Amino acid sequence: MEEVLEGKDATYLLNNHHRLDKCIELLHLRFAQHAWQDILDIADHLHILSEEMYNEAQKARSQRLPYLFKAERPLVFYYGFSYLAKGTALQKLGLYDQAREYILKYSELGWFSGLDKLGWEEVERFKLFAKANLYTNDLLSGKLSVLSEYVQFLEDNPEELLPGLVTIMETASLHLVNVDDLLERFSEKIEDFRNLEDATNRTHYIRFSYHRAVYYTKLQRYPDCVGLILLFLTSYNTINDADFKKFVVLFEVYREYASSEQIEQYQNLCKELLKHEEGISICDDDIRSC
């Protein structure tokens, strides 16, 4: 655990209050890297820290002594996030039963003593996250009976729709469920999501589109898959390298189903990208090192 916290990504480790925020920073970084084992370790460390500080605050309160908390968010946030991070990592590892246990741990944090207005707001946020993540966990584990209930939940909570669509497409691909009706039902909103610019929503939309492309292959709708891949490759400036590679690999696997126009579009795109690679020039169709 110390290697994770005190390696090249650690910029400051001053006291326990700062360590809480450093853990959150590292968790976000490891989520982006899909480093699930690191996330489990950091989440455990975050939980130990936040629990120690909670006990210290309780002791100070019982003795009617002041307790100064200096982190950026209320203490309940760090306590709940330790469970959320661990539950998410376990889910990504396919350990759905274990993930469910941790989701339930942050589903009701109202017992947390010393909550102020901001603390109660965090409790309510975690309650919503838990409800959404329980649906996600159940669907990915194959409990498809909750799908219609989940769709209603998404309609009642529109801020959850985009990440919810990722869950739906991933579930459809894993368990061979036809969700064309849901794609049609949310088609206008899906189109709107293409224009979102903040990093989190862009990440959700890219994941949604990738799983949708995979879904089309499961239905043997290969031309639809190829078309969706090209749509995203043409917006490479908004896709990170790992996502770009996944779309390229998918295109190459199903290249035989691309039309001549689509293949030409793909080749032109690759040539355009090569122009930006240092030490490579393109003359006609010849690629040369400079």
pLDDT of residue 5: 46
Instruction: Say if 234 falls within a structural domain.
Output: yes
Contact 176, 148 (CB under 8 A): no
Instruction: Say if 11 falls within a structural domain.
Output: yes
pLDDT higher than 70, residue 11? no
Instruction: Give the percent of the chain with pLDDT over 90.
Output: 67
Q: How confident is the model at residue 127 (pLDDT cuts 50, 70, 90)?
A: very high
For residue 229, which amino acid is it?
I
Q: Which residues are bridge partners to 289 per DSSP?
A: 280
Domain final residue pick, 117, 141, 165: 141
pTM of the predicted model as reported, rounded to 2 decimal places: 0.83
Residues 67 and 134 in one domain: yes
- Mean pLDDT for the chain? 87
Residues 133 and 21 in one domain: yes
Which has the minimum average pLDDT: 59-63, 149-153, 222-226?
59-63
Residues 155 and 127 in one domain: no
| Domain range enclosing 95 | 1-141
Instruction: Say if 103 falls within a structural domain.
Output: yes
Instruction: Say if 267 falls within a structural domain.
Output: no
Q: How confident is the model at residue 4 (pLDDT cuts 50, 70, 90)?
A: very low
Instruction: Say if 211 falls within a structural domain.
Output: yes
pLDDT of residue 53: 92
Let me know the angle formed at the C-alpha of 181 by 177 and 186, rounded to the nearest 5 degrees. Answer: 115
Residue found under tokens 């002791």: 59
Task: Provide φ and ψ at 286, rounded to 5°.
Answer: -100, 130
Residue found under tokens 């959850």: 160
Residues 125 and 151 in one domain: no
- Tens of pLDDT, residue by residue over 161-179, are 999 999 999 999 999 999 9
Better-predicted residue by pLDDT, 115 or 203: 115
Residues 121 and 208 in one domain: no
pLDDT higher than 90, residue 143? yes
Instruction: Give the percent of the chain with pLDDT over 70.
Output: 87
Residues 10 and 105 in one domain: yes
Q: How confident is the model at residue 254 (pLDDT cuts 50, 70, 90)?
A: very high
- How far apart are the C-alpha atoms of 147 and 164, rounded to whole Å? 11
Contact 246, 282 (CB under 8 A): no
Residues 27 and 109 in one domain: yes
Residues 24 and 134 in one domain: yes
Residues 32 and 2 in one domain: yes
Indicate the number of domains in the chain. Answer: 2
pLDDT (mean) for 125-133: 96
pLDDT (mean) for 15-36: 87
- Note the residue count of the chain: 290
Domain final residue pick, 114, 141, 168: 141
Residues 157 and 126 in one domain: no
pLDDT higher than 70, residue 281? no
Residue in 267, 254, 260, 261 with CA at minimum distance from that of residue 214? 254
Residue in 152, 75, 70, 137 with CA at minimum distance from that of residue 102? 137
- Tens of pLDDT, residue by residue over 53-90, are 999 999 988 888 877 778 889 999 999 999 999 999 99
**Between β-strands 286-289 and 280-283, what pairing exists: parallel, antiparallel or unpaired?**
antiparallel
Residue found under tokens 């590892």: 93
**Quick count: other Cβ atoms within 10 Å of Cβ 124?**
11
Instruction: Say if 265 falls within a structural domain.
Output: no
pLDDT higher than 70, residue 285? no
- Tens of pLDDT, residue by residue over 93-108, are 999 999 999 999 999 9
Residues 137 and 3 in one domain: yes
Burial letters 90-112, b for 16+ CB under 10 A, else e: bbeeebbeebbebbebbbebeeb
pLDDT of residue 122: 97
Domain final residue pick, 126, 141, 156: 141
| Secondary structure, 3-state, the chain | CHHHHHCCCCCCCCCHHHHHHHHHHHHHHHHHHCCHHHHHHHHHHHHHHHHHHHHHHHHHHHCCCCCCCCCCCCHHHHHHHHHHHHHHHHHHCCCHHHHHHHHHHCCCCCCCCCCCHHHHHHHHHHHHHHHHHHHHHHHHCCCHHHHHHHHHHHHHCHHHHHHHHHHHHHHHHHHCCCCHHHHHHCHHHHHHHCCCCCHHHHHHHHHHHHHHHHHHHHCCCHHHHHHHHHHHHCCHHHCCHHHHHHHHHHHHHCHHHCCHHHHHHHHHHHHHHHCCCCCEEEECCEEEEC
Instruction: Say if 272 falls within a structural domain.
Output: no
Residues 137 and 147 in one domain: no
pLDDT of residue 236: 58
pLDDT (mean) for 207-222: 95
Cα-Cα-Cα-Cα dihedral sign, residues 86, 90, 95, 99: positive
Instruction: Say if 263 falls within a structural domain.
Output: no
- How far apart are the C-alpha atoms of 284 and 290, rounded to whole Å? 15
